């Protein structure tokens, strides 16, 4: 019934799999027929603490029983406390709350442009982003995204976005002139194929932006909140931005987005310049406070690094064993395995085979398997998935 209702009444913009899910617990999901699945996608890097974490559930229930929404015309304690927690744990001085990653990126785009217009430099409005990047599906974030395939049918896009190759500092230098207000990029391209930045490249980007007075924006919507082994992925590079965006895992499944900025960059906004009716509600921020606290506990991020290294090693073992595996790359527990799909099954077909065997993974660009499990995943579950992938790849040799 749920499948038929969805097909009859919901926009058909997703290729959905399987039966309706009715329960989640830890790294497990259960459908309406009692089938069990080990989740290696976490709602697309959202449920970093697993499904229905008891502490987050308790925080949501407690807040739902006291105060859910009053609007940003008033003060609320959870929002203030979350903003303090995020700034204390980052480079930033101020936080703007939204409902999603796309909205957080919209805010960053608007802030970068208004920052220079407020200084009388209206000619600085262009934003450089990277080819194969993904920043959202609103008109501005779609324009910022460096993938033509998702732009089809939505032209004309917004002006003022320039796309250059990722990890190519010379291309960035060539594009960066006095009309550019910001460089916007992901420390690890997720939708673009799980491609990490080169360390020297990111350091050079930061220096180039500093030298030219250009704002540097890091889109950490997929890579933030411990996903890459540090609270924010850029920390492992020793490079800080002027503006950063978060969403996805910030509240472990409750919709929320955030744009963080230095005091200097934040000066581009003043009263009335930007807003969000539902941004940073007491409910969402109470959940996010619980997430930040748990991820910040001693040893948590170290365990993400350890499990990420273990997972990567096991997948590299498959690369050595199976010719179909072209590359294994990533950071922490955001990992991609690129396949040779010139012969045999595509990544989407292998994803479907894994689903039939009770494992939820993701396929991007039809040649890359993406793994973004809850950060509480164990080596036992990793071993089970690797064994299934080994058997499937054996049939491709």
Phi, psi of 131 (to 5 degrees): -60, 145
> Could you give the C-alpha distances from 346 to 44, 83, 320, 354, in angstroms and in order?
20, 43, 19, 13
Q: Which of 248, 307, 324, 331 is catalytic?
A: 248
DSSP-based helix, strand, coil % in the chain, nearest 5: 40, 20, 40
Q: Which of 166, 218, 219, 232 is catalytic?
A: 219
The candidate with the shortest Cα–Cα distance to 289, out of 56, 45, 42, is: 56
134 catalytically annotated:
yes
300 catalytically annotated:
no
DSSP category for residue 378:
-
The candidate with the shortest Cα–Cα distance to 341, out of 363, 362, 314, is: 363
* β-bridge partners, 111: none
> Could you give the C-alpha distances from 213 to 119, 177, 193, 345, in angstroms and in order?
13, 11, 30, 48
Residues for the chain: how many in total?
A: 397
What is d(CA 385, CA 383) in angstroms, rounded to the nearest whole number? 5
219 catalytically annotated:
yes
SS (H, E, C) 38-93: EECCHHHHCCCCCECCHHHHHHHHHHHCCCCCCCCCCCCHHHHHHHHHHHHCCCCC
Q: Which of 97, 115, 116, 134 is catalytic?
A: 134
Residues designated as active site? 134, 219, 248
């Amino acid at each position: 019934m749920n499948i038929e209702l969805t097909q009859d009444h919901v926009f058909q913009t997703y290729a959905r799999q399987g039966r309706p899910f009715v329960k989640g617990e830890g790294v497990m999901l259960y459908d309406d027929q009692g089938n069990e699945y080990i989740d290696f996608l976490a709602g697309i890097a959202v449920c970093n603490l697993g499904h229905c974490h008891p502490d987050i559930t308790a925080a949501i229930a407690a807040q739902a029983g006291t105060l859910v929404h009053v609007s940003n015309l008033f003060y609320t304690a959870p929002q203030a406390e979350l903003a303090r927690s995020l700034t204390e744990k980052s480079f930033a001085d101020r936080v703007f709350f939204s409902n999603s990653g796309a909205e957080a990126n919209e805010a960053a785009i608007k802030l970068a442009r208004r920052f220079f217009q407020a200084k009388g430099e209206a000619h600085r409005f262009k934003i450089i982003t990277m080819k194969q990047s993904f920043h959202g599906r609103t008109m501005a974030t779609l324009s910022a995204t460096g993938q033509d395939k998702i732009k089809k049918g939505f032209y004309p896009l917004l002006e003022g976005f320039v796309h250059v190759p990722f990890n190519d500092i010379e291309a960035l230098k060539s594009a960066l002139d006095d009309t550019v207000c910001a460089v916007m990029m992901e420390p690890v391209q997720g939708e673009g194929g799980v491609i990490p930045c080169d360390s020297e490249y990111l350091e050079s980007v930061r220096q180039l932006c500093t030298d030219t007075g250009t704002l540097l924006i890091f889109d950490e919507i997929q890579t933030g909140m411990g996903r890459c082994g540090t609270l924010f992925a850029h920390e492992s590079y020793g490079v800080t931005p002027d503006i950063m965006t978060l969403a996805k895992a910030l509240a472990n499944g409750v919709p929320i987005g955030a744009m963080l900025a230095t005091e200097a960059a934040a000066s581009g906004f003043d009263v009335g310049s930007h807003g969000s009716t539902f941004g940073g509600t007491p409910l969402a921020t109470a959940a996010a406070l619980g997430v930040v606290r748990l991820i910040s506990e001693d040893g948590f991020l170290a365990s993400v690094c350890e499990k990420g290294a273990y997972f990567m090693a096991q997948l590299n073992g498959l690369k050595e064993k199976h010719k179909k595996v072209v590359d294994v790359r990533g950071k922490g527990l955001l990992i991609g395995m690129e396949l040779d799909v010139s012969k045999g099954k595509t990544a989407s077909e292998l994803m479907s085979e894994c689903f039939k065997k009770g494992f939820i993974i993701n396929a991007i660009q039809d040649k890359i398997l993406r793994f973004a499990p809850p950060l509480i995943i164990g080596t036992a579950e990793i071993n089970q998935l690797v064994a299934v992938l080994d058997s499937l790849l054996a049939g491709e040799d």
